[in-house]
Amino acid sequence: IYYTRSWFTIFSGTSCSNQVRTFYKPFSVALTCMCCSILLIVFEHQVPFLESLLHIESAAYASFSSLLGFFIVFRTSMASSRFWEACSVVRAMMGDWFDGTSTLVAYLRASDADPDVVVGHQQLLIRLVSLLNLMVLGELEGEESQTKRAHTHELLDVQSIDRESLEMLNTSANRPEVVFQWIQ
């Protein structure tokens, strides 16, 4: 995976709205907890019954904090390992497509058909695999919008695929499966 964004993109255009939308709920929970903590600290000595109510044994607090810290570290570790496992699976999937495509191109090269027809089929196969890669990466983004970031990447000569097929693909609900069936 190649990340093209630098550290200062949080302050720029569209990526900022995506990042704010992603962290909206956790930030609102953290902000609420912070405000409650500040209010309790300020009013602890001014309201008499709060001082006795807020007195917590240090052993109980330490146990709770260590358990909470363990859960946070464990969940973060599991999420990180799942992310990198998914990255390696996507990389392996693209490698398998490359191997399969190169094998099919090699088989087509040995065909007895007209060389122009063979070259046309080879080029169509490469274009369809490029389109399949784009569609699968778009599905992996997980967003429901029609303008996915993966769909803005370059394709290999998509204009050579007939327009009716591309329009049908655009209205299809399962785009990667449609392109995969075209390849088969």
Question: What tokens appear for 163 in the block?
Answer: 């327009």
What is the number of other CB atoms lying within 10 angstroms of the CB of residue 130? Answer: 19
Q: Which residues of the chain have pLDDT under 50?
A: 8, 10-13
Q: How far apart are CA 11 and CA 6, in angstroms?
A: 11
Question: What tokens appear for 67 in the block?
Answer: 């358990």
* pLDDT at res. 144: 62
- Domain ranges within the chain, ordered by starting residue: 93-183
* pLDDT at res. 77: 93
* pLDDT at res. 184: 81
* pLDDT at res. 72: 92
Residue type, 68: L
Q: Which tens digits make up the pLDDT trace of 26-80? A: 888 889 989 988 887 787 777 777 767 767 677 777 888 899 999 999 999 999 9
* pLDDT at res. 10: 47
